[in-house]
Amino acid sequence: MTEPVSEPSSQLLDIQRRMAAAVMHPLTRGETMPRRRRDGASNQREADAIIRPNDRLTSFERLEIYNRQYWFRLYTSFEEDFPGLQAVLGRARFDALMRAYLTDCPSQSFTLRNLGSRLDAWLDQHPEHLGPHPVLARDMARLEWAHIETFDSEERPPLSPEALAAIDEHSTMRLQPYLRMLALSYPVDDLLLQVRNENGSSASSTNNASTARRRRHVRHVATLAPRPIHLALHRHENSVWYKPLSPEEFGLLAALISGKTLGDAIDLALADSSLPEHQRAAFLQEAFASWAMLGWFTS
Amino acid sequence: MPANRFNGFTDYGVGIGLRIPHYQHILSRHPVVDWFEIISENYMVDGGRPLEVLDQILEQYKVVQHGVSMYFGSVDPLSREHLTRLKQLVRRTKTPWLSDHLCWGSVDGRYTHDLLPMPYTWEAVEVTAQKIRQVQDFTEVPVVVENVSSYAEFHASEMTEWEFLNEVVERADCGILLDVNNIYVSSKNHSFDPFTYVNSVPAHRVAQIHIAGHSKFEKYILDTHDHPVLPAVWRLYARAIERCGPTATLLEWDDNIPTFDEVHAEALKANKFLKAAAEAAPDTASAAVQAAANSMRQSGLVESGAPR
């Protein structure tokens, strides 16, 4: 199942490549198929070469239906995944980012769930799309992708009280696969909760056609005062929660996730801590009790 | 022909698509529904709410899986991850059959997430049938392929759509999910007689039927699944049932989704046709059962006799 089921030089493959090139090419600002592509190729000529006209539509117009469907479907999915980023950037900047990202990073997965999986890495290379508050926009994009991953990642059985009691400083600990940790420069968590409530839940895969691009309400958030936060994204009763963490808690969990032993993780997390020595034992006890109660430790 | 080897010898009646806006109603009111169809891709995840809801549905209802991105007609090889996740879901749902579309949608590892039409060529027949067989072998459940709505035709085509469908299903030895709304939409977009299509389909391979609504524009029709079923589509459905016998039927409603009760009531209109076919067409039914039995004997699945 690693080789194509037909020869690379096949007529079928040629048709599929030519049609995909037209269908996946960005629309014009007016959301129509461009006459000429960015590489200079003529969509008119390509359409005439592979698509039959009928008594009502030209070859170009028939191909254009699929070009528009492709982008409407991707726009809808991406907007539903990143409503917070849209609120931070505003509609025009978000549209430009979305078009550029989806052009550079077309889906490589059978599921639209993974459409935004390469956004963070892509933004490293394309900071020009982040608007006047790039750190805020970047923080929001990271939080929204982490939310998607936390929503449907695996949940393993939590460690039993007996297994927890047997842990010592040499133990390494596994945490729930759905747990995501973020250190952010802006308190984007509250903003995202508001935006998601306004926009409702995300969409799923369907097999119907769209008559037009689905527009969602966009509340533009001009800016937000910076304030560093540490978050753990986790699930409780299959809802996603954002749990604020102290820098020490964040450091400790990050070290455990990276595979450090419990003793080393504690040393690392408290190395630069301003937490007084006499409060550290209580801090560790409370933190571990809370995480164990949430079922974050697993086998 | 309520039961055949392509639908796992089931007799499933009239179902509707399981959609998020109806979750709460279904889980709190427990309405009587023959079966639900799920979009497989929406539940091919590792955990969380989607699987929690699915498990609750599975406790009370029969569920059949319908896929939207296997792309039997793509030259691209099948994705191992896709197949593995699909099989995991098959084990979870115990779906008696597995459907996806007679289309392509990915090339060179890039996915369009659309149901793109096939050029009806002999090469495409071979490619598509081979991939259907691969999926059937891997998942170990009967695979049925659905005809799609299309808005374009290719110069390269060497046969009609129904001839293409028939060639593919014979070579793959698979079943058909006959979408009569898609036949109607394509018939208007490509100016053919939809009854010719319905009359040409091998009735003994039809495992399931889809009905849905569509949207008319000035120059073409789109398969939007956002309306009740139109009278012309019901007429095609009646003809399909007349030929195939009472067959598992499902209403698709994916946009502007009304209340659960409205969607279910629309689907249940199919019962009128199913009852009429069950009462009035014993000759057709027995002929279809005989054909299925012959087909099974030829494939070596049974030694003799008709399916139960």
Q: Are residues A183 and A265 in the same domain?
A: yes
User: In the predicted model, is pLDDT for residue B215 greater than 70?
Assistant: yes
In a domain, B307, yes or no: no
User: In the predicted model, is pLDDT for residue B80 greater than 50?
Assistant: yes
pLDDT band at A299 (very low <50, low <70, confident <90, very high): confident
Q: Are residues A266 and A228 in the same domain?
A: yes
Contact B49 A238 (CB under 8 A): yes
Contact B41 A205 (CB under 8 A): yes
pLDDT at B130: 98
User: In the predicted model, is pLDDT for residue B155 greater than 90?
Assistant: yes
d(CA B74, CA A180): 36
In a domain, A157, yes or no: yes
User: In the predicted model, is pLDDT for residue A200 greater than 70?
Assistant: no
In a domain, B304, yes or no: no
Q: Are residues A148 and A123 in the same domain?
A: yes
User: In the predicted model, is pLDDT for residue B225 greater than 50?
Assistant: yes
User: In the predicted model, is pLDDT for residue A261 greater than 80?
Assistant: yes
Mean model confidence pLDDT for chain B: 91
* pTM for the whole structure: 0.90
Mean pLDDT computed over A61-88: 96
Mean pLDDT computed over A78-91: 95
Q: Are residues A127 and A44 in the same domain?
A: no
To the nearest whole Å, the CA of B129 is away from the closest chain A CA by 10
User: In the predicted model, is pLDDT for residue B294 greater than 90?
Assistant: no
| Residue B146, domain extent | 5-299
Q: Which of A15, A41, A70 is the last residue of a domain?
A: A70
Q: Which is higher by pLDDT, B80 or A5?
A: B80
In a domain, A77, yes or no: no
Write out chain A residues lying below 8 Å of B42, CB-based: 204-205
User: In the predicted model, is pLDDT for residue B162 greater than 50?
Assistant: yes
In a domain, A75, yes or no: no
Q: How many residues does chain A have?
A: 299
In a domain, B308, yes or no: no
Q: Over the stretch A134-177, which tens digit does the pLDDT of each residue have? A: 999 999 999 999 999 999 999 999 999 999 999 999 999 999 99
Mean pLDDT computed over B220-247: 94
Out of B110, B127, B225, closest to residue A5 by CB: B127
Q: What angle do CA A91, A96, A97 make, to 5 degrees?
A: 100
pLDDT at B279: 81
In a domain, A134, yes or no: yes
pLDDT at B288: 43
CATH number of the domain residue B13 falls in: 3.20.20.150
> Total domain count for chain B?
1
In a domain, B305, yes or no: no
Complex ipTM value:
0.91
Contact A16 B104 (CB under 8 A): yes
The alpha carbons of chain B give a radius of gyration, in whole angstroms, of 18
To the nearest whole Å, the CA of B304 is away from the closest chain A CA by 35
In a domain, A129, yes or no: yes
In a domain, B293, yes or no: yes
Q: Are residues A197 and A94 in the same domain?
A: yes
Q: Are residues A254 and A123 in the same domain?
A: yes
pLDDT at B304: 34
pLDDT at B295: 46
User: In the predicted model, is pLDDT for residue A201 greater than 70?
Assistant: no
Long-range pairs, A255-264, Cβ under 8 A, ≥24: A256/A172, A256/A173, A256/A175, A257/A175, A257/A179, A257/A181, A259/A172, A260/A172, A261/A169, A261/A170, A261/A171, A261/A172, A262/A167, A262/A168, A262/A169, A262/A170, A262/A171, A262/A172, A262/A173, A263/A169, A263/A170
Contact A108 B127 (CB under 8 A): no
d(CA B5, CA A136): 57
d(CA B214, CA B227): 6
In a domain, A161, yes or no: yes
User: Which residues, numbered 252 to 291 in chain A, qualify as contacts with chain B under a Cβ-Cβ cut-off of 8 Å?
Assistant: none
Mean pLDDT computed over B236-263: 95
| Residue A17, domain extent | 1-70
Mean pLDDT computed over A95-106: 98
Q: Are residues A64 and A143 in the same domain?
A: no
d(CA A97, CA B5): 50
Q: Over the stretch B102-148, which tens digit does the pLDDT of each residue have? A: 999 999 999 999 999 999 999 999 999 999 999 999 999 999 999 99
In a domain, B94, yes or no: yes
Q: Which of A11, A30, A37, A296 is nearest to B121 (CA)?
A: A11
**Strands of the sheet with A229-236, listed across from one edge:** A180-184, A229-236, A239-245
Q: Are residues A162 and A204 in the same domain?
A: yes
pLDDT band at A214 (very low <50, low <70, confident <90, very high): low
> Total domain count for chain A?
2
Please, are residues B18 and B31 in contact by the beta-carbon 8 Å criterion? no
The percent of residues above 90 in pLDDT, for chain B, comes to: 83
